[in-house]
Amino acid sequence: MFKHFYLVCGMFQKFQEKWKVGPVQLFIILLTFAVGGTLTGMIGRRIMNLIPVDGIVWVIIYIIVMTLIWPLMVILVSIPMGQFVFFRNYLGRIAARFTGKQKNQPLPSAEKASRVNLAIFASGTGTNARKIIEHFTNHPSIKVGLVVSNKPAAGVLDVAKDFGVPTFLIEKEEFFRGHSYIPLFREIGIDFIILAGFLWKIPPALVAAYPSRMINIHPALLPKYGGKGMYGKFVHEAVIAAGEKESGITIHYVDEQYDHGATIFQATCPVEDGDTPETLAEKIHSLEHAHFPQVIEEAILSQLVKNH
């Protein structure tokens, strides 16, 4: 009796570690599996009653029907259970195993004692990432070793491919509730992280793993027009609505708050009558492209000098 109890507890423990969830979430996940499975059985049987076959053909069709319905039911049940993200990732992993398509290719391992290795994090088109990669191509002491994105369709992934820079897609679950990919970044020797239009907040553990080695660019003159929800056109709309005569860019170290760490560099541009969020965005982009790569280089080199 006790032996069985311990076996079950051990099994639950293993699931919690494997899926990186707490006991309550594990309970909800198992409940979702149970309800999803029951619905699959009920609906599957009804469908089979409508199909006039028997024998081995019946068995084959039954297996196909169940295989198709099960993921659908589990995903549907996961929505009211609040576990949609978990099950989307879970089914994604199963699908990847079956199709042999892993989302991410193996990454190169750390080159010891070579150039400072940057990872660029971006969620968008990647015009800044392009400028940074171009700037550090053939640089004697700094290189871009990785482009990280949270969006499979982000243009920045194509930019990276153009330059032969490895790319890596991150998942929300692991990023926010797992190890934030810190072991992986360490393993492949990432020294600095550059945020160039990355829209997820950086988890505290990752910020702590890169103290003064994570740099962000913000399209306004911080501390104004920063913080949650202040990105892209929302920033420029707010600047224009406030009647500002000047806007610009801020390049800063990253801390645990949105757009808050120590400022490294600012540059300004005028906000003229008739400027729209789009025209202001163009001016800001020009400033970013002109300064960001250079400022990253100077910040890194000054740290190298200090550390020697």
Out of 145, 178, 219, 261, which residue is the one contacting ligand GRF (CB under 6 A)? 219
226 binds ligand GRF (CB under 6 A): no
Instruction: Note if the bond before 152 is cis, omega within 30 degrees.
Output: no
3-state secondary structure of 195: strand
Rounded Cα distance, 86 and 97, in Å: 17
Q: How far apart are the first and last CA of the chain?
A: 63
Looking at beta carbons only, is 209 or 254 nearer to ligand GRF? 254
Out of 218, 252, 283, 291, which residue is the one contacting ligand GRF (CB under 6 A)? 218
Looking at beta carbons only, is 27 or 234 nearer to ligand GRF? 234
Read off the tokens for 251. 């390049």
CB of residue 127 vs ligand GRF: minimum separation in angstroms? Answer: 3
Binding marks (x or -) toward ligand GRF, 83..122, rule CB under 6 A? ---------------------------------------x
Per CB under 6 A, the segment of 57-65, 212-220, 263-271, 297-305 that binds ligand GRF is: 212-220
> Is 218 labeled as catalytic in the residue annotation?
yes
Long-range contacts made by residues 158-163, C-beta under 8 angstroms, separation at least 24? 158/126, 159/125, 159/126, 159/129, 159/130, 159/133, 160/120, 160/126, 160/129, 160/133, 162/130, 163/133, 163/134, 163/137
- Contact between 207 and 254 under an 8 Å Cβ cutoff? The reply is yes
Looking at beta carbons only, is 173 or 282 nearer to ligand GRF? 282
Residues 181-210 that bind ligand GRF (CB under 6 A): 196-197
Binding marks (x or -) toward ligand GRF, 275..304, rule CB under 6 A? ---------x---x----------------
Rounded Cα distance, 87 and 24, in Å: 16
Q: Could you say which of 135, 139, 218, 289 is catalytic? A: 218
Quick one: which of 248, 203, 245, 240 has its CA closest to 223? Answer: 248
Residues that bind ligand GRF in the complex, under the rule CB under 6 A: 122, 124-129, 196-197, 217-219, 284, 288
